[in-house]
Chains A and B, each alone.
Chain A
């Protein structure tokens, strides 16, 4: 008996049926050292909410792709995993990655949606690909709903630094709908031992003489939980005086709480913390179980990055600081007295 398999050809062309097929999402799965990025797992959850098939896409250098694919195959909700290896894909440079995506999504493709995390890498790639296919893209969505009858997809997304929520609809006439996902709005998909998605290799589309070369990447090394996905965050502002004081004051508290460390823009601009720690409209958006804001005044742009946290605690010398308008628990105190006392008493 013929076994009917989903056709995993380069462009994913499937048999056409008389009735409208459901959606088929292609999810860009970012990875490092064989681990799928948490943001991509949230993107996978969002893709599942479209209600149809979901194919994961893993790209990378040959030595990295294999382990990432093995992990991806076990992700609950993935129908299939497409993967492509090339030395050119080692750093996910948009100019070199785009041709493969354009090929997968060309006319006749079975993919109806392209989904990724709103990561610095994916949001540099997806709009480029979309434009080359003459298609729009929707950024940083917080909800998604697909209507099969009209083939329209409706999204919500924050605008004006999250001070308003926009509901936009990509009509059925949009051939492939691209969107990036705000990770804090979708729970990360989990692995499931019972799942074994089918994996298929796709030939890379190599670029002769790419215009952009990767020179180096400098990631801030930390044993701490990753800021973007941590359950608890301790964040410092301009009041922390300098880099040494920032570390010396906040690290004991973060250690005691098992928290990641974040920073306001003011603190990063002043050199107290690395730019990768910035929480805000144009930095990282976080929504941990606990967010402790130390010496942060609470500018609109900072609130945009943390106001969806479950419990917000603020310590600030100024009783009028705007942060107290969103904090669930506020303490007006000198942080240099309060934080050490807090650390000491927490450990008791």
Chain B
């Protein structure tokens, strides 16, 4: 009996260039946005996504045919793609928008990603992306993409095991109150949670190699997608300031402060 053709995995990892997580952001005086003249990096959850794709290849070897990374962003976003390529992705797609373009919305991003997936000649079997971007903290893109494609979805993944032959994946998710395990058919959208893995630092040789990896440049028009935001950004403001109170010298003083505020032990 002839063995059936092994389906090779084509993995797509959408990534976002965001303000670096360690930057102390400042709201602009015009209250329309934050000061973006600061260090930017790959969204930490997307780093985890890239890492997971690379680890899948390390585990499944030739069964992973391609790892493509895609980003929607200004010209500088190409640097973020290069970082992903240095981590081990094969090629990149840069959907370029202008520096002054309004902030992206999850629905627009999902539509662009759907268009990217639909034009991939070899198809896409697995999309791995961060559960949320640390700038807008929206956490919707993965679910929206899965919905548009009518694919299976597994959000907040803390463990991912893929069986390309059986075309299924087992995903453990972090949920309120604990963990949940799902069995999902491919094609599948997975969004990453913190504990899925610890991303590698790209080595210098890999950074050099990455310079030669191809990046395809596209515009939203090429994908027939309109990224104009639907929601209107009215303002961006500082949160109410929390000022630290004083320090106490010892536990007795601490207890006194607690009592002042009405906190005592419960009757056991």
B137 near A161: Cβ-Cβ < 8 Å: yes
- A-side contacts of B152, CB under 8 Å: 95, 211-212
- Stretch of B57-65, B115-123, B249-257 lying at the A interface: B249-257
Question: Which A residues between 220 and 237 are near B, CB-CB below 8 angstroms?
Answer: 220, 226, 228, 232
Minimum CB distance partner of B44 in chain A: A282
Q: Is B21's CB within 8 Å of the partner chain A?
A: yes
Question: Which A residues between 277 and 327 are near B, CB-CB below 8 angstroms?
Answer: 281-282, 284, 289-290, 300-301, 307, 311, 313, 315, 319, 324-327
Q: Is A123's CB within 8 Å of the partner chain B?
A: yes
B250 near A331: Cβ-Cβ < 8 Å: yes
Question: Which listed residue, A123, A256, A275, touches B265 by the CB 8 Å rule?
Answer: A256
Q: Is B158's CB within 8 Å of the partner chain A?
A: yes
- A-side contacts of B236, CB under 8 Å: 159, 164-167
Query: Per-residue 0/1 for B229-261: is the Cβ within 8 Å of any A Cβ (1 yes, 0 no)?
Result: 011111111110010111111111111011001
- Stretch of B6-14, B140-148, B211-219 lying at the A interface: B140-148
Question: Which listed residue, A168, A324, A326, touches B232 by the CB 8 Å rule?
Answer: A168
B151 near A136: Cβ-Cβ < 8 Å: no
B156 near A215: Cβ-Cβ < 8 Å: no
Assembly CA distance A138 to B27 (angstroms): 21
- B-side contacts of A211, CB under 8 Å: 151-152, 184-185, 188
Minimum CB distance partner of B132 in chain A: A282
Assembly CA distance A174 to B255 (angstroms): 52
Q: Is A87's CB within 8 Å of the partner chain B?
A: no
A324 near B233: Cβ-Cβ < 8 Å: no
In the complex with contacts A158-B137, A217-B180, A300-B24, A136-B146 CB distance below 8 A: no
- Stretch of B68-76, B83-91, B102-110, B200-208 lying at the A interface: B102-110
Minimum CB distance partner of B182 in chain A: A212
Q: Is A328's CB within 8 Å of the partner chain B?
A: yes
- A-side contacts of B264, CB under 8 Å: 346
Assembly CA distance A255 to B267 (angstroms): 10
Assembly CA distance A307 to B245 (angstroms): 13
Q: Is A219's CB within 8 Å of the partner chain B?
A: yes
B179 near A218: Cβ-Cβ < 8 Å: yes
Query: Per-residue 0/1 for A144-167: is the Cβ within 8 Å of any B Cβ (1 yes, 0 no)?
Result: 000000000010011111111111
Q: Is B166's CB within 8 Å of the partner chain A?
A: no
Most B CB contacts (10 A, CB to CB) among A160, A170, A332 go to: A160
A326 near B244: Cβ-Cβ < 8 Å: yes
Interface size class of B (residues with CB under 8 A): 35 or more
Assembly CA distance A130 to B253 (angstroms): 53
Assembly CA distance A120 to B268 (angstroms): 33
A164 near B248: Cβ-Cβ < 8 Å: no
- B-side contacts of A219, CB under 8 Å: 177-178
Most A CB contacts (10 A, CB to CB) among B34, B170, B180, B238 go to: B180
B134 near A121: Cβ-Cβ < 8 Å: no
Question: Which listed residue, B136, B175, B254, touches A313 by the CB 8 Å rule?
Answer: B254
A269 near B144: Cβ-Cβ < 8 Å: no
Q: Is B195's CB within 8 Å of the partner chain A?
A: yes
B248 near A329: Cβ-Cβ < 8 Å: yes
A131 near B246: Cβ-Cβ < 8 Å: no
- A-side contacts of B137, CB under 8 Å: 139-140, 157-161, 281
Assembly CA distance A116 to B27 (angstroms): 29
Q: Is B99's CB within 8 Å of the partner chain A?
A: no
Give min CB distance, B60 to chain A, whole Å: 21
B231 near A170: Cβ-Cβ < 8 Å: yes
Q: Is A137's CB within 8 Å of the partner chain B?
A: yes
Question: Which listed residue, A123, A218, A256, A300, touches B139 by the CB 8 Å rule?
Answer: A123
- A-side contacts of B195, CB under 8 Å: 268-269, 275
A330 near B175: Cβ-Cβ < 8 Å: no
In the complex with contacts A138-B231, A139-B140, A159-B137, A119-B147 CB distance below 8 A: no
A131 near B148: Cβ-Cβ < 8 Å: yes
A120 near B174: Cβ-Cβ < 8 Å: yes
Q: Is A171's CB within 8 Å of the partner chain B?
A: yes
- B-side contacts of A187, CB under 8 Å: none
Q: Is A342's CB within 8 Å of the partner chain B?
A: yes
Q: Is B25's CB within 8 Å of the partner chain A?
A: yes
A258 near B181: Cβ-Cβ < 8 Å: no
- A-side contacts of B252, CB under 8 Å: 345
B135 near A159: Cβ-Cβ < 8 Å: yes
Assembly CA distance A215 to B247 (angstroms): 50
B147 near A164: Cβ-Cβ < 8 Å: no
Q: Is A251's CB within 8 Å of the partner chain B?
A: no
In the complex with contacts A168-B234, A311-B261, A212-B180 CB distance below 8 A: no
Q: Is A64's CB within 8 Å of the partner chain B?
A: no
Give min CB distance, A265 to chain B, whole Å: 7
Give min CB distance, A287 to chain B, whole Å: 12
Q: 8 more A-B contacts (CB under 8 A) besides A128-B153, A300-B22?
A: A94-B146, A95-B153, A136-B105, A136-B106, A213-B183, A265-B194, A300-B21, A346-B265
Task: List, sorted by A's number, 23 A–B pairs whose CB atoms are closer than 8 Å.
Answer: A93-B182, A120-B176, A124-B155, A127-B144, A136-B107, A159-B236, A160-B25, A167-B236, A170-B230, A170-B232, A213-B183, A214-B182, A232-B263, A257-B266, A269-B195, A282-B132, A290-B261, A313-B258, A315-B254, A328-B257, A329-B258, A331-B247, A342-B255
